[in-house]
Amino acid sequence: MLNFGKTLVVAAHPDDEVLGCGGLIARLVNQDKQVKVVFIAEGSSCRYNTLTDEAQAEISFRNQCGIKAMKSLGVKDYCFYNLPCGRLDIEPIIEIAKIIEKEILEYGPTTVLTHSRHDVHNDHKVIFRAAVQATRPVAKIVKNLLSFEILSSTEWSYTEVFKPNLFVDITSEIDIKIDAMHCYSTEQPKPPHPRSDEVIRSLATMRGSQSGVKYAEGFEVVRIFL
């Protein structure tokens, strides 16, 4: 297994961390590895035309869901930047990259996990670009940069397909991952929606079948250093 070392998860919105690498997070925590999760955007305001009191309440609720999910996964180190959801493309990408750079300098991770460049959700694409910029091999060098897949975004990119080439066995962690997703009560529509329990387990089954285990998470290697 790749030596992940200290791991920094850079997620666009609360719930992306569970969908993308919740099993791996739980596995690393169970091995007493250090994991930090950074949420760049808040995940809710895109559903409103303006930042009303109702929208603010939704943002606060989503953050609370994220805190519960962190507890479920065993993560104690996390932070919320609450940039506007669905509007990261109007933020200067250098400012988003600076947030990630600051986290890297302060935390010193060996591995950064973030979104795929192929995702339908534009926030995810912006975070990928910012993460690549922030992990240039200078200063505190990040050895490993990996992309994860997000159900309801990655698989809907029909012309640019996510191609995992690194797999992590999460057979012992699949139920923890699904339970952590339950913390996001407003983000789990009924089947056949891709964020439902059944589809989360199905994807883990497929990735497991590709790698010879019961359940797995798949990642695309952007860069690794062995």
Write down the pLDDT at residue 55.
Answer: 82
Write down the pLDDT at residue 126.
Answer: 98
Write down the pLDDT at residue 49.
Answer: 62
CB within 8 Å of 29: residues ≥ 6 apart = 35, 73, 74, 75
CA gap 210, 213 in Å, rounded: 8
Q: Is 191 helix (H, G, I), strand (E, B) or coil?
A: coil
Q: How many Å is the Cα radius of gyration of the chain?
A: 16
Write down the pLDDT at residue 51.
Answer: 72
Could you tell me the CATH number of the domain that includes residue 197?
3.40.50.10320
In a domain, 53, yes or no: yes
Q: Which domain holds residue 44?
A: 7-223
| Average pLDDT, consecutive stretches of 10 residues, N- to C-terminus, the chain (226 residues) | 94 98 98 98 75 85 97 98 94 97 97 97 98 91 96 96 97 98 94 96 98 98 95
In a domain, 1, yes or no: no
Write down the pLDDT at residue 141.
Answer: 87
Helix axis angle, 174-181 to 53-73, nearest 10°: 160
In a domain, 52, yes or no: yes
CA gap 177, 204 in Å, rounded: 10
Strand duo 144-148 + 111-114: pairing = parallel
Write down the pLDDT at residue 191.
Answer: 93
In a domain, 12, yes or no: yes
Strand duo 166-169 + 77-83: pairing = unpaired
In a domain, 66, yes or no: yes
Are the C-beta atoms of 187 and 114 separated by less than 8 Å? no
Number of compact structural domains in the chain: 1
10 Å CB burial of residue 136 (0-12, 13-18, 19+) is exposed
In a domain, 105, yes or no: yes
In a domain, 113, yes or no: yes
Q: What are phi and psi of 18, to 5 degrees?
A: -70, -50
